[in-house]
Amino acid sequence: MKKIAALLVLFSIFGFGQKQSLRNEISKLTKGKNATVAVAVKGIDFPFEFNNENAGKKLPMQSVFKFHIALAVLDWVDQGKLALDQKVFINKSELLPNTWSPIREKNPEGNFEMPISELIEYAVAMSDNVGCDILLRLIGGPKTVNDFLISKGMKDTQIVYNEEVMQSDWKNQYENYTTMKSSNTLLKDFYQGKIISKESTEFLLGVLYRTSTGTNKIVEQLPKSAKVAHKTGSSGKNDSGLTGAENDIAIITLPNGKTYALSIFVSDSMESWETNCKIISNISKAVYDFLKK
């Protein structure tokens, strides 16, 4: 028994030492940056967890919340309240100007139909703001999403505003928040099929794998062969040059087939857009290199 105890102690010390090396590397990458950088890593099918000193802070999600919204919509699909092939009529009045929307660019005159499956593709993979708010309208608004997350045991996550309202006032983004710990718990539970049905999980994973935004964030320095299902978010800068949010969350598969959740938010930053994204990119590479050893 003494030998086993000694081995466990050595293993614990070794594991701590290795994790400390990752902590040191991430600290080096964020040193001197005028920003709040929050990082959390969670093994999905292997025992590993890392949280930096900001991983428990409630930070603005921006478009990352479209992942949460898609989960709530797909829950309605699972309940039979909606169907993926169900077509939704989109009025021209819903195609708001001055907001990111590939849907609007493709259909500027509006008054057309689009299936829910395609709306989810636009809202999540392409981060379409119009598509996001149409999906929210279908299920009764942000409160439906918030209540759904609470029902799934999600803590320290809140969704109050849709895209239109969130963008109407800079401070509103701070009401749609999560922590990196909560984000990773949701990613893990989602991947393991604990949030929505198997069919809906597979559908949304496919959408996340096709994400076309944020190519200079989590995915930038990872091998082209790496499987990355991710969702990005970005606030842009206000008149004072402050970036409220530059975010990315992901489920990443290692060469050995093991998967992990990674959430990185850069908040309240006075750094440039390029620097904020490079922080995320560098941390992602450091975590991947550490875990693939």
In Å, how far from its chain's centre is CA 5?
40
Written as six digits, the tokens of 251 are 């489920």
- What are the beta bridge partners of residue 226? none
Structure tokens at 289: 């290199």
Question: Is 163 part of the annotated catalytic residue set?
Answer: yes
- Tokens 């009529």 sit at which residue? 89
- Tokens encoding 123: 């809202």
**Please, which residues bridge with residue 199 across strands?**
none
Q: How far apart are CA 164 and CA 274, in angstroms?
A: 26
* Cα separation, 17 vs 258, whole angstroms: 22
Residue 262, beta-bridge partner list? 41, 250
Q: Could you give the 3-state DSSP secondary structure of residue 269?
A: strand
Start-end of H helices in the chain: 2-30, 65-79, 102-106, 116-120, 129-139, 142-151, 163-168, 180-191, 198-209, 273-291
For residue 38, give the nearest of 236, 283, 207, 234 by alpha carbon.
283
Q: Which of 163, 182, 234, 269 is catalytic?
A: 163
Q: Is 225 a catalytic residue?
A: no
Are 34 and 55 in contact by the 8 Å Cβ rule? The answer is no
Q: Which of 201, 200, 255 is nearest to 226 (CA)?
A: 255
Alpha helices, DSSP H, located in 169-238: 180-191, 198-209
CA–CA distance, 275 with 293 (Å, rounded to integer): 27
What residues act catalytically?
63, 163
